[in-house]
Amino acid sequence: GIVAVTQPRRVAAISLATRVSDEKKNELGKLVGYTVRFEDLTSDETKIKFLTDGMLLREAIGDPLMHKYSVVILDEAHERTIHTDVLFGVVKAAQKKRKELGKLPLKVIVMSATMDVDLFSQYFNGAPVLYLEGRQHPIQIFYTKQSQSDYLQAALVTVFQIHQEAPYSQDILVFLTGQEEIEAMTKTCRDIAKHL
């Protein structure tokens, strides 16, 4: 069967499918594909399918036993969206019904960076819990000496100060509030970098 990997947002589903497809050195839509609202890039060859929670719910309405899936991975479970929470119930019901009917089992994997592990383990009948250590990199956090009225300008100045003082092998991560700010900051950085 197919491995379904759910994501709460379409951008994550598409970018993860693209990355896994690249890592497998396979054309996107073949072995690895994705399905999001208004867009389905899968084929009969697809074995790993990334999709939004909402799309898997929609599929489950037409096929409550989720016959084409052998594994369902519910990623970002800590976000606890309505779709994710409903999906927990739908997947658990499909898992139980398939067992009762003697069909191939539906394996369920719940993944989260931060969540109430015991709650989810109990919900899925005492499912085992695995803790995976992520790669740890040294992180330095810097604060401004005075509060800033224009945090975008302050972030921009700070990025270029660090860029000029730190080794080129180091990275800089700036958190901004949305796509518009990210695009504006990226454009400004590129414009300034041309003159360095």
74-97: per-residue pLDDT in tens? 998 888 888 888 999 999 999 999
- What does residue 125 show for φ and ψ, rounded to 5 degrees? 55, 45
Those residues whose C-beta lies under 8 Å from the C-beta of residue 27, and which sit 6 or more positions away, are 21
* Domain annotation covers residue 112: yes
Looking at residue 147, its pLDDT comes to 87
Which residues span the domain enclosing 156?
151-194
Q: Which of helix, strand or coil describes residue 99?
A: helix
Task: Answer with the residue of higher pLDDT: 55 or 179.
Answer: 55
Closest CA to 13 of 44, 54, 43, 46: 54
Does residue 70 sit in the same domain as residue 11? yes
Gap between the Cα atoms of 155 and 193, Å rounded: 15
Split into its structural domains, the chain has a count of 2
Beta strands (DSSP E) in 53-191 are 69-74, 107-110
pLDDT, the chain, mean: 90
Gap between the Cα atoms of 121 and 47, Å rounded: 27
Looking at residue 93, its pLDDT comes to 96
Does residue 101 sit in the same domain as residue 29? yes
Q: Which of helix, strand or coil describes residue 188?
A: helix
Does residue 119 sit in the same domain as residue 159? no
105-161: pLDDT as tens digits? 999 999 887 767 888 888 888 888 888 777 677 777 777 788 888 989 999 998 988
Does residue 108 sit in the same domain as residue 169? no
What's the average model confidence in pLDDT over 14-20? 96
Looking at residue 47, its pLDDT comes to 98
* Domain annotation covers residue 145: no
Looking at residue 18, its pLDDT comes to 96
Looking at residue 115, its pLDDT comes to 67
Closest CA to 79 of 129, 120, 135: 120
CATH number reported for the structural domain that contains residue 103 in this entry: 3.40.50.300
Task: Answer with the residue of higher pLDDT: 19 or 115.
Answer: 19
Work out the number of other CB atoms within 10 angstroms of the CB of residue 162: 15
Does residue 113 sit in the same domain as residue 170? no
DSSP state of 30: S
Gap between the Cα atoms of 76 and 110, Å rounded: 8
